[in-house]
């Protein structure tokens, strides 16, 4: 731990790219967004529990996607914000490769920085799981919390794979550099899909017919399936996804890089 703290301090003070302010900026902005999401979610869930009114879940998901997209500001900086003669370089990569650190330090540092940048999103996920556990344990809230857990797991694993494999020198791993951009485009397409949905205007009371229609008819089967990974099981899924992210983003790339040397 002491070694990691020294590496982080050195990176912070020696980074001359001019983008070292992006991490605190990202945390502050996404922190405010996460607070707004938690506040809105509490109000909507309480109205559902007390009055049976629909939860405009599409609005919550749109805010979460905005939260994710804001985090890309910092991720793009570490993954490669500059291009020189067709080669993508990143500030973290540049510093760590030039500093007297072990190869595992490169992967571990990038992984931890990403976890720090994604903390506001994790807070939202855990908060919604808490609403499912302590406020309403019904199928609807379980489905919604499970869907948010699903988004978080897909996001963290995909970004970790991209950050880990982008450090490999072999050209066959170059496509992994663009996973972040693909994920961002996917979230934008999802945003455009959610914009015309007006579930709250077409129903005033939640029933079995419209219970899972918060994201439109296409996602009804998905929400039904996600009801099984809400609540306490969602915490287990998050833990598994974090361990998987560390394996695919740190352990596996390091093993592959050692084989490339020999």
Give Cα 216 distance to the centre of its chain. Answer: 23
pLDDT band at 138 (very low <50, low <70, confident <90, very high): confident
Residue 135 lies in a domain: yes
Query: Which H or E element spans position 82?
Result: strand 82-84
How does the average pLDDT of the chain come out, rounded? 78
Nearest Cα to 258, choosing from 167, 162, 172, 159? 167
pLDDT in tens, 142-183: 999 999 999 999 989 998 888 888 777 677 778 887 887 888
Is 30 part of a structural domain of the chain?
Answer: no
Q: Domain for residue 3, yes or no?
A: no
The domain in which residue 69 lies consists of 43-261
pLDDT grade, residue 84 (50/70/90)? very low
Residue 36 counted as domain residue = no
pLDDT category of residue 221 using cuts at 50, 70 and 90: very high
Confidence category of residue 81, pLDDT binned at 50, 70, 90: very low
Q: 30 vs 90, which has greater pLDDT?
A: 30
Looking at the 3D structure of the chain, how many domains does it have? 1
Identify whether 152 is part of a domain: yes
Tens-place pLDDT, residues 38-77: 999 999 899 888 888 888 888 889 889 888 877 766 665 5
- 88/23: higher pLDDT: 23
Indicate whether 38 belongs to any domain: no
Per-residue pLDDT band at 79 (split at 50, 70, 90): very low
pLDDT computed for residue 198 by the predictor: 56
Give this prediction's pTM.
Answer: 0.82
- The verdict on residue 136 lying in a domain is yes
Q: Is residue 34 part of a domain?
A: no
d(CA 91, CA 10): 13
Q: Where are the alpha helices (DSSP H) in the chain?
A: 2-14, 22-51, 57-80, 91-98, 103-117, 119-130, 139-165, 179-194, 199-202, 220-226, 232-246, 252-261
Is 53 strand, coil or helix?
A: coil
Give one word for 43, left, alpha or beta, with left for phi > 0 and alpha for psi -120 to 50: alpha
């Amino acid at each position: 731990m002491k070694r990691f703290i020294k590496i982080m301090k050195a990176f912070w003070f020696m980074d001359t790219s001019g983008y070292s302010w992006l991490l605190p900026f990202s945390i502050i902005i996404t922190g405010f967004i996460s607070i707004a999401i938690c506040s809105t979610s509490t109000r909507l869930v309480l109205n559902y529990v007390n009055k049976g009114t629909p939860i405009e879940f599409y609005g919550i998901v749109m805010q979460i996607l905005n939260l994710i997209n804001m985090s890309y500001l910092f991720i793009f900086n570490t993954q490669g914000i500059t291009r020189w003669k067709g080669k993508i370089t990143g500030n973290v990569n540049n510093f760590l490769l030039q500093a007297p650190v072990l190869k595992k330090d490169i992967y571990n540092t990038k992984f931890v920085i990403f976890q720090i940048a994604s903390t506001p999103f994790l807070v939202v996920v855990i908060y919604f799981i808490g609403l499912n556990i302590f406020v309403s344990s019904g199928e609807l809230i379980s489905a919604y919390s499970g869907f948010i857990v699903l988004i978080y797991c897909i996001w963290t694993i995909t970004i970790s794979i991209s950050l880990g494999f982008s450090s490999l020198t072999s050209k066959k791993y170059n496509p992994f550099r663009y996973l972040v951009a693909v994920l961002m485009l996917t979230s934008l397409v999802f945003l455009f899909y959610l914009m015309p949905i007006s579930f709250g205007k077409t129903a005033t009371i939640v029933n079995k017919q419209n219970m899972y229609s918060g994201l439109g008819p296409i996602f009804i089967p998905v929400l039904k399936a996600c009801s099984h990974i809400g609540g306490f099981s969602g915490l287990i899924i998050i833990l598994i996804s974090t361990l998987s992210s560390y394996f695919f983003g740190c352990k596996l790339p390091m093993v592959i890089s050692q084989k490339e040397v020999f």
